[in-house]
Amino acid sequence: MLSKEIQNKVQNLWDRLWAGGLANPITAIEQISYLLFMKRLEEFKKDVPDNYKWSLYKDIDENSVVERVNEVFKYIQTELSADNEPFAQAMKSANFEIDNSSLLKSAMEFIDSIYIEIYKEVEKNQHFNDIQGDVYEHLLKHTSEAGKNGQFRTPRHIIHMMANILKPDVDGKICDVASGTGGFLVGAYQYIITKNSEKTEIDDDGLIKGIDGKKLKARKRKTLEENTFYGFDLDKTMVRIGVMNMMMHGISKPHIINLDTLSDNYEEWYANELSVDFKEKDKSSLVNPKLQGQFKYILANPPFTGKIDSIGVSENLDRVYPPKYEDKKQTKRKKQTVQSELLFLERIIYMLEEGGKAAVIVPEGVLFNSGGAYKKIREILMTDCDLNGVISLPSGVFQPYTGVKTSILIFTKRKWKNGIDKTQNTDVWFYGMESDGYTLDANRKRFKESPLPEVLSQWDDRNHTSQDDRKIEHFNIPLVEIKENDFELNFNLYKEFVYIPQELKSSQELLKEIKSIELEVSELLNEL
């Protein structure tokens, strides 16, 4: 947890930028990201020329500071992007927008003062990347513009709970299909560090947190920091913010790609990664083109944008919404209106490698809507995959952005030898969370007790959960019952609600109490 001194300095930085005209928090965090990268440029690249070293130009006078910082910015965009530095690559088409010398000088001084406080905390045996990451997370809390176009930040404690459920490791690539600020990838990284730490503690949400990662061998650590994390986002600004967030947490080379994973651009990127030409390669020679994937773990909260135009959606995503054609030769696809959250689920299944696991947040309508496309995606989840669990979240989890009721789907992609198009033969575990440990209003204040450790304990013990007792908050449901209900996955459908009669006071007693209160009020008024 950040010290009050650091929190106050971060708030002062925000206030200064806002007063200086950077009223849009997304723009502000983007500009802060550039300055943070400049501040740490000497650590990211050892042979930086003196002219571009923060330590040598931070005290420059106001008359020259804008010109010098812009020179550094151009250096990063040209020289460092050529060296494939992740953040420099993301900055290629960016603009540095702080052209007020007084504002820029003030912002740089605030950043220096924040790092002075960070180093003070390090002296108290705190881990540098841990504190630095918390500073950036604290900055991100100010981006209240999030929520447009169905995008909003997932609460960090929900991310950590999902990472503890998925249990990622350094044995495969970890991905988020709509990565935004990179929160899920950071959460997966922190889980792996915790699992490999000698020193651990309990965080504010009752979850185990480790910071040293000392059990990781040098080669695994390098793989973790440079070749494990992949994210995709169609917003260039979010790509830059996401890359910086991950680097601030200690992931030196995150792979965040600026593209829409629902489009053909993903297949083109994938083909380049595998050095395969999908356009010329005969798909029938593949074991099953729908099962090709390269990610071992996927954590995601895809945007709930609702209906989108099917034109521009990848032709490989054709199971939930089979294509319609305008001509008999089936060469020109007909325009359809499709639900993005269903396509994201299909894409995630496509992207998972065999045996790969995913934890995905979806709007609750996906679980019970009777439309054909909704039924189809639920069926695919239990044919191509084994659906392991459904966790129903409280409706206020995403306040103040939205009150949409959501659930977490946890599933494992089945191996080809198990046979596809046959439903799974294991039960589905259901859990209904009445609270996530915070108030469910716009303020989201933390309770003293967190329910997350209990959720994780029950998840780990799910194979011993009863099918019969559905009066409690968790139970297993056999596949035959789910099939009979059109693969509906709504927690409330299977939960057995017990009516508990309340003992109410009689109307005579209530009237007596009212009269007594009125008499007291009257006496107090007389005293006044």
pLDDT score for 482: 93
How many C-beta neighbours within 10 Å does residue 150 have? Answer: 17
Segments of the chain with pLDDT less than 70: 1, 143-152, 274-292, 305, 416-422, 465-467, 498-500
Same domain, 14 and 30: yes
Sheet holding 352-363, edge to edge: 255-257, 229-232, 174-176, 295-300, 352-363, 406-413, 385-392, 428-432, 474-477
Q: Which domain covers residue 350, as residue numbers?
A: 148-494
Query: Does the CA dihedral 121-125-129-134 come out positive or negative?
Result: negative
- Show the tokens assigned to 165: 């459920």
Decide if 336 is inside a domain: yes
Helix, strand, coil content of the chain in percent (nearest 5): 45, 15, 40
Decide if 83 is inside a domain: yes
Same domain, 49 and 182: no
pTM (two decimals): 0.87
Same domain, 106 and 169: no
pLDDT score for 416: 67
Cα pseudo-dihedral 360, 363, 446, 439, rounded to 10: -170
Same domain, 154 and 127: no
Decide if 197 is inside a domain: yes
Decide if 105 is inside a domain: yes
Integer Cα distance of 140 and 150 in angstroms: 17
Same domain, 347 and 478: yes
Decide if 52 is inside a domain: yes
Same domain, 366 and 229: yes
Same domain, 278 and 402: yes
CB 272 within 8 A of CB 323: no
Choose the final residue of a domain: 140, 167, 183: 140
- For the chain, how many structural domains are there in total? 2
CB 459 within 8 A of CB 429: yes
Same domain, 168 and 117: no
Q: Calculate the CA 378 to chain-centre distance.
A: 22
CATH code assigned at 309:
3.40.50.150
Decide if 512 is inside a domain: no
Decide if 516 is inside a domain: no
Same domain, 121 and 187: no
Same domain, 358 and 450: yes
DSSP secondary structure of 205-223: TS-EEE---TTS-HHHHHH
Same domain, 348 and 379: yes
Same domain, 54 and 163: no
pLDDT score for 376: 94
Q: Which of 400, 405, 318 is nearest to 361 (CA)?
A: 405
Decide if 111 is inside a domain: yes
